[in-house]
């Protein structure tokens, strides 16, 4: 016995990755369907060696289906997720819609897998923001050892986090700067992204932070520990895939960098690449297509009593979105649904 799985938003970057990862990880699938908007009906997407034709989400009946992986925006999720959940299909949602709902678990399996058990309240589980997911994977084992008081994080986020149009904008702007007459004005972003960095992701809030920065604070507290203080600066950079983060951590107890390195090496979902030599660290280029959250540049922060710095890199379409959703489905199956 396997599962009947629906991938909602199957033509987008994250939806396609969900299909890839379900196949790669040999998730026990009895039947799978690719769903998209009516305009994408009939579009072909790959699932392992199989080609699926997208069906119309608007006409789909979720009755009898086990799990729906949602990779559509919050507005569409608001319309369709309750329909799927009411039909008895567990929704794993990649949008921000349900992340802060107290009746919906927000899950990163390496960090709080047991929270999946709370899905029964609404039949919905939320996937965190891409920048939060990789960070909490790195923070949790260190928090368990020395208790984190405060985190200061600066992110360097790739354009794939904004969708296919943003990837095209970076590509076309970069080409356009070299070809007179083919310059491309910003449309996805408020300023040129080619050869530039933009300290603005999502909308601005009253206190001067952006919604992306607020998400990192709120989600870390919900997933890990509400007592952790966190401040973030989120920056869009001209990289196609892969988010990077510079993380400064203040602990309650002293934690030596060598012990921290050993702890991280033994922790699930993490690969430590940390040689103090040219190239002895990970950059976004190397993380593309990989499952791991990579940690480099682990070192003591001598400006505070119990401080560490580290560099954290992961494929935002994988651990930051599709992989985490599939891992949630695996935990849900093993702990709760128990098929396959």
Does the annotation count 130 as an active-site position? yes
Give the C-alpha separation, 98 to 220, whole Å.
15
- Residue 204 in tokens: 């601005």
Does the annotation count 200 as an active-site position? no
**Within 10 Å of residue 11's Cβ, how many Cβ atoms?**
20
Q: Are 43 and 36 in contact (CB under 8 A)?
A: yes
Q: Are 144 and 228 in contact (CB under 8 A)?
A: no
**Within 10 Å of residue 53's Cβ, how many Cβ atoms?**
12
In the 8-state DSSP scheme, what is residue 335?
Answer: I
161 is an annotated ligand-binding site residue: yes
Sign of CA dihedral 131, 129, 261, 279: negative
- Judged by DSSP in three states, 67 sits in strand
25 is an annotated ligand-binding site residue: no
Give the C-alpha separation, 124 to 136, whole Å.
21
Give the C-alpha separation, 234 to 48, whole Å.
35
236 is an annotated ligand-binding site residue: yes
157 is an annotated ligand-binding site residue: yes
39 is an annotated ligand-binding site residue: yes
Catalytic residue among 234, 243, 287, 312: 243
Catalytic residue among 54, 130, 234, 287: 130
145 is an annotated ligand-binding site residue: no
**Between helices 130-146 and 211-223, what is the axis angle to 10°?**
40
Strands 148-157 and 229-236: parallel
99 is an annotated ligand-binding site residue: yes
46 is an annotated ligand-binding site residue: no
Q: Are 126 and 106 in contact (CB under 8 A)?
A: yes
The vertex-83 CA angle with 38 and 124, nearest 5°, equals 115
316 is an annotated ligand-binding site residue: yes
172 is an annotated ligand-binding site residue: no
Active site residues: 130, 243
Q: Which residues are annotated as a binding site for phosphate?
A: 99
Q: Which residues are annotated as a binding site for substrate?
A: 157, 236
Numbered residues of the known binding site for NADP(+):
11-14, 39-40, 160-161, 316
């Amino acid at each position: 016995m396997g599962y009947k799985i629906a991938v909602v938003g199957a033509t987008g970057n994250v939806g396609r990755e969900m299909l890839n990862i379900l196949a790669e990880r040999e998730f026990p699938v009895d039947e799978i369907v690719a769903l998209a908007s009516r305009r994408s009906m009939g579009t072909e997407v790959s699932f392992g060696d199989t080609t699926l034709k997208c069906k119309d989400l608007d006409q789909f009946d979720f009755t009898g289906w086990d799990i729906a992986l949602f990779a559509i925006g919050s507005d569409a999720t608001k319309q369709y997720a309750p329909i799927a959940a009411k039909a008895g299909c567990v929704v794993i949602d990649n949008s921000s819609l349900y992340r802060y709902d107290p009746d919906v678990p927000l899950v990163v399996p390496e960090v709080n897998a047991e929270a999946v058990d709370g899905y029964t309240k609404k039949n919905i589980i939320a996937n965190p923001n891409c920048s939060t997911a990789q960070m909490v994977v790195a923070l949790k084992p260190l928090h368990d050892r020395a208790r984190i008081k405060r985190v200061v994080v600066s992110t360097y986020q790739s354009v794939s986090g904004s969708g296919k149009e943003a990837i095209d904008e970076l590509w076309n702007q970069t080409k356009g700067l070299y070809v007179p007459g083919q310059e491309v004005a910003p449309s996805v972003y408020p300023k040129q992204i080619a050869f530039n960095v933009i300290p603005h992701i999502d909308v601005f809030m009253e206190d001067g932070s952006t919604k992306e920065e607020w998400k990192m604070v709120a989600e870390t507290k919900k997933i890990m520990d509400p007592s952790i203080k966190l401040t973030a600066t989120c920056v869009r950079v001209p990289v196609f895939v892969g988010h990077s983060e510079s993380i400064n951590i203040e602990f309650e107890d002293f934690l030596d960098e060598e012990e921290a390195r050993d702890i991280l090496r033994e922790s699930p979902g993490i690969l430590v690449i940390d040689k103090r030599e040219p190239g002895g660290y990970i950059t976004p280029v190397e993380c593309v297509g990989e499952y791991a959250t990579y940690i480099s540049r682990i070192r003591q922060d001598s400006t505070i009593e119990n401080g560490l710095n580290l560099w954290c890199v992961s494929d935002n379409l994988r651990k930051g979105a599709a992989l985490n959703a599939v891992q949630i489905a695996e935990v849900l199956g093993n702990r709760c649904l128990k098929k396959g």
